[in-house]
Amino acid sequence: SAVISQKPSRDICQRGTSLTIQCQVDSQVTMMFWYRQQPGQSLTLIATANQGSEATYESGFVIDKFPISRPNLTFSTLTVSNMSPEDSSIYLCSVEDNTQGLYFGPGTRLTVT
Amino acid sequence: GNSVTQMEGPVTLSEEAFLTINCTYTATGYPSLFWYVQYPGEGLQLLLKATKADDKGSNKGFEATYRKETTSFHLEKGSVQVSDSAVYFCALSDTSGTYKYIFGTGTRLKVLA
Question: pLDDT per residue over A68-108, tens digit each?
Answer: 999 999 999 999 999 999 999 999 999 987 767 889 999 99
C-alpha dist (Å) from residue A38 to A4, A10, A109, B35, B112 = 21, 14, 10, 19, 27
- Distance of alpha carbon A106 from alpha carbon A4, whole angstroms: 8
Contact flag A43-B103 (C-beta cutoff 8 Å): yes
Q: Which of A33, A42, A92 sits opposite B104 (nearest CB)?
A: A42
pLDDT of B91 over the 80 cut: yes
Give the pLDDT score at B96: 63
A42 vs B84: which has the higher pLDDT: B84
Computed over every residue of chain B, the mean pLDDT equals 92
**Adjacent-strand bridge partners of B67:** B72
Q: DSSP string spanning B22-81?
A: -EEEE-SS--EEEEEEE-TTS-EEEEEEE-STT-EEEETTEEEE-BTTTTB--EEESS--
Contact flag B103-A103 (C-beta cutoff 8 Å): no
Degrees, nearest 5: CA angle A96-A65-B1: 50
Query: Stretch B45-57: mean pLDDT, rounded?
Result: 94
Indicate the pLDDT class of residue A18, thresholds 50, 70 and 90. very high
Contact flag B46-A106 (C-beta cutoff 8 Å): no
- Starting at the earlier edge strand, list the strands of the sheet with B56-59: B19-21, B75-77, B62-65, B56-59
CA torsion, points A90, A58, A99, B25, in degrees to nearest 10? 90
The pair phi, psi for residue B29, each rounded to 5°, is 75, -150
pLDDT in tens, A41-55: 889 999 999 888 889
- Distance of alpha carbon B82 from alpha carbon A66, whole angstroms: 38
Q: Which of A31, A102, A107 sits opposite B101 (nearest CB)?
A: A102
| Spatial contact of B110 and B15, defined as CB atoms under 8 Å apart | no
Contact flag A100-B49 (C-beta cutoff 8 Å): yes
| Spatial contact of A80 and A10, defined as CB atoms under 8 Å apart | no
User: With pLDDT > 70 as the criterion, what percentage of chain B qualifies?
Assistant: 96
Q: Which of B45, B49, B103 sits opposite A42 (nearest CB)?
A: B103
Q: How far does the CA of residue A81 sit from the closest CA of chain B (Å)?
A: 23
